[in-house]
Amino acid sequence: MKLRYPLSLTTRLALLFALTAASLLIAVGVLLGRAVEAHFAELDDHELRGKLALIENLLQRADLPSARDMLPQRLDDAFVGHDGIAVFLRDKEGVVSYAIHPSSFLAGVLAGDELPSGIAKWEKDGHHYAGREQSLRMQGADGTTTYIRAVVGLDITHHATFLDAARLRLWLAISLAAVMAALLGWWVAHAGLAPLRRVSEIARGLSAERLSQRLTEAKAPVEVRELVDAFNGMLSRLEAAFQRLSDFSADIAHELRTPISNLMTQTAVSLSRTRTADEYREVLTSNLEEYQRIARMVADMLFLAKADNGRLPGPHELVALADEARALAEFYEALAEEHDVNVVVRGAATVHGDRLMLRRAISNLLSNALRHSRPGSTIEIDVADDGPQVMLRIQNHGDTIPADQLSRIFERFHRASAERHHHGEGAGLGLAITRTIIETHGGTVDVESADGVTAFRIHLPRLIHGQTSTE
Amino acid sequence: MKILIVEDEPKTGDYLQQGLGEAGFVVDLARDGLDGLHMALNGEYDLIVLDVMLPSLDGWGVLRTVRRSGRETPVLFLTARDQVEDRVRGLELGADDYLVKPFAFSELLARVRTLLRRGKAKEPEVFRVGDLELDLLRRRVTRAGIKIDLTAKEFSLLELLLRRQGEVLPRSLIASQVWDMNFDSDTNVIEVAVRRLRAKVDEPFEPKLIRTVRGMGYVLEVPEAQ
């Protein structure tokens, strides 16, 4: 039968406790029983041997015929009154010379059968018996030797009764102990799992607004602490991601508010009195520019959202990075000359990727480098094939980016400086887009800036595994 | 030139009709897919501008039926859904171009003209506007008989402006056609490039042929006499 729900941990542990305890107790019980039984058997044997020794002694003293006649009397003296002892003696031919309580013996034995060697056990009329048969030598005074076979039986019913009672009590005790073990086990497990319940309690209380909460189980057992650590790690990651998202939403709202507010003010002011056609045209044109900024920003945000949902085209063609860099250098050539900046491209390497995406990623870096280059300086683009990895570095000379800005430079809407507000790029999404594209390609992008030299580095896997060139 | 617009969003439809009408086209407007399909099958259009999301029958349905009827009318898709699979699907079904909302009207106009020009008579080898002359075969540009030295890209830019003379070319179209930059790139680049071209082609001469249309792009034409 299959359980519909898996057993609770507490129930499992309680059952395991009970099972373990019961098995141990049963083993101990069985051993104990055997030991008592063996002890009784030893006692019985000892007594039987004692009786046989006594008989032998009497037989030996009956060497004279007169003494021989006294033998039954002496045996009676020895055994009458001991209800539990049965004796009979017979000679080789089976003639019984003496018997006391012979009804204790099985009919076969009385008829002449020998008892099995060693200690024999049997049951008759509801009584348990142990017995021994031994051949004894009787020395006559005349020097003749006769052999008498002596059979001694011992009523051991009281031992059997005691053992049965003891066994019953033992089983009862074992059953009770198992039940107790189960109950104790349940209690122990319940108490032992308390830290887990506290963890779930806290987890239950978590919500998006309270993601900053952490589980504190410093005193928790090691096993639970691992769980707590893992859980807290997950919480941190969730909180960071959630924070990024809500920052992003807030930034979007903020970034949209500025142009929309401009549009509203400008339009309202223009409508406040009659103006010439040229003035209206000027307002509409200005509005158009503002709309275009908004549209571009929305397109960029959609691009990032698509990347977040993993819906960007993956690597599917071979892209010669240096060729792309050269095409971009050519595209930016006029602008670079205006800034009195030179762009050089060195090296070569091929990666698997999406050409348009990679071009866009590099374009953002180059455009960024161009904006921050000192006039008269050179932007160096180096492409290198480093075995499994391909590296592209764009280095420009200009202001050093402060260290605290470096780590945040790839974040959405981040701007290295506030004054870069109304630059052609619009919102600060360019570098975020670059990072997103590179990460989509399984690569990384980083930046270092020192002594007026800033270098962005892209690392890309040369070939995505499982992909073969289809171009 | 007759254009059919199938667009259910009232404002968009109206403005597209007005804009294309004022650009010199004869424009019909359908407000839903079935109407659009009916008009496409019964009218003679040179181009269909088709929204993807439409009531009663979506743009793909319209396109499929139009193509099955054997009509090769060029189709320009408009959509708010910028998804690669959408793009691929539209092009597989036989769409000729694809524009994602929101788009600049100048961009739409440029693409409409490109589609309408497709498959037309062979382009001339020498372009002329006023006293400006561009010889494609000899890669030579002269103005008022004076030879002007241009870089390769400046030549391509001027060629584009001449081919599409009288049309306002948006910066994104120029970036795409001349530099193959098919994404929102730094538009300052185009500004600078056009300025440098002007310095060579326009500055020493009169009248000025290259004009900036603010917020829209650039146009090359002989200015109307004041």
Q: Give ipTM to 2 decimals.
A: 0.71
A363/B215 Cβ within 8 A: no
B196/A334 Cβ within 8 A: yes
Per CATH, the number for A222-308 is 1.10.287
b/e B80-103 (16+ beta carbons within 10 angstroms → b): eeeeeebbeebeebbbbbbbbeeb
Task: Return the percentage of chain A with pLDDT > 70, whole number.
Answer: 93
Distance CA A105, CA A154 (A): 10
Distance CA B119, CA B126 (A): 19
Task: Give the confidence band of B220 by pLDDT, cuts at 50, 70, 90.
Answer: very high
Q: Is A340 on the interface with B (CB under 8 A)?
A: no
Q: The domain B2-117 belongs to what CATH superfamily?
A: Response regulator (3.40.50.2300)
Query: Where does CATH 3.30.565.10 sit in chain A?
Result: 317-461
Nearest CA in chain B to A359: B181
CB B194 within 8 A of CB B157: yes
Show which of residues 16-45 on chain B sit within 8 Å of chain A, judged by CB atoms: none
Element containing residue A439 per DSSP (H, E): helix A430-440
| SS3 at position A68 | helix
Ranked by mean pLDDT, the top range of A36-50, A96-110, B78-92 is A36-50
Question: CB neighbours of A124 closer than 8 A, spacing ≥ 6?
Answer: A103, A104, A105, A106
Q: Is B186 on the interface with A (CB under 8 A)?
A: yes
Query: Where does CATH 1.10.287 sit in chain A?
Result: 222-308
Res. A382: pLDDT tops 90: yes
A9-169: CATH, from 3.30.450, 3.90.550, 2.40.50, 1.20.950? 3.30.450
Element containing residue B158 per DSSP (H, E): helix B152-163
Mean confidence (pLDDT) of chain B: 85
Tell me the shortest Cα–Cα distance from B170 to chain A, in angstroms. 12
Length of chain A counted residue by residue: 471
Tell me the shortest Cα–Cα distance from B44 to chain A, in angstroms. 34
CB A263 within 8 A of CB A425: no
pLDDT per residue as tens digits for the range A410-465: 887 765 444 444 444 455 788 888 998 898 888 999 999 888 899 999 999 876 54
Please tell me the predicted confidence (pLDDT) of residue B84.
57
Nearest CA in chain A to B188: A424
B126-220: CATH, from 1.10.10.10, 1.20.210.10, 3.40.190.290, 3.90.1150.10? 1.10.10.10
Residues of B in contact with A360 (CB under 8 A): 183, 185
Please tell me the predicted confidence (pLDDT) of residue A420.
44
Task: Name the residue facing A331 among B104, B181, B196 (closest C-beta).
Answer: B181
A424/B187 Cβ within 8 A: yes
Res. A166: pLDDT tops 50: yes
Please tell me the predicted confidence (pLDDT) of residue A471.
34
Please tell me the predicted confidence (pLDDT) of residue B88.
65
Q: A317-461: which CATH architecture?
A: 2-Layer Sandwich (3.30)
Q: Is A440 on the interface with B (CB under 8 A)?
A: no
Tell me the shortest Cα–Cα distance from A328 to chain B, in angstroms. 8
Q: Is A359 on the interface with B (CB under 8 A)?
A: yes
Q: Is B192 on the interface with A (CB under 8 A)?
A: yes
Q: Which of A70, A52, A50 is nearest to A61 (CA)?
A: A70
Question: CB neighbours of B203 closer than 8 A, spacing ≥ 6?
Answer: none
Task: Name the residue facing B192 among A292, A330, A335 (closest C-beta).
Answer: A335
Distance CA A383, CA A457 (A): 10
Residues of B in contact with A425 (CB under 8 A): 186
Residues of B in contact with A361 (CB under 8 A): none
Which comes out higher in pLDDT, residue A304 or B161? B161
B181/A363 Cβ within 8 A: yes
Task: Give the confidence band of B119 by pLDDT, cuts at 50, 70, 90.
Answer: low
Task: Return the percentage of chain A with pLDDT > 90, whole number.
Answer: 12
Res. A402: pLDDT tops 80: yes
Distance CA A219, CA A305 (A): 42
The domain spans of chain B are 2-117, 126-220
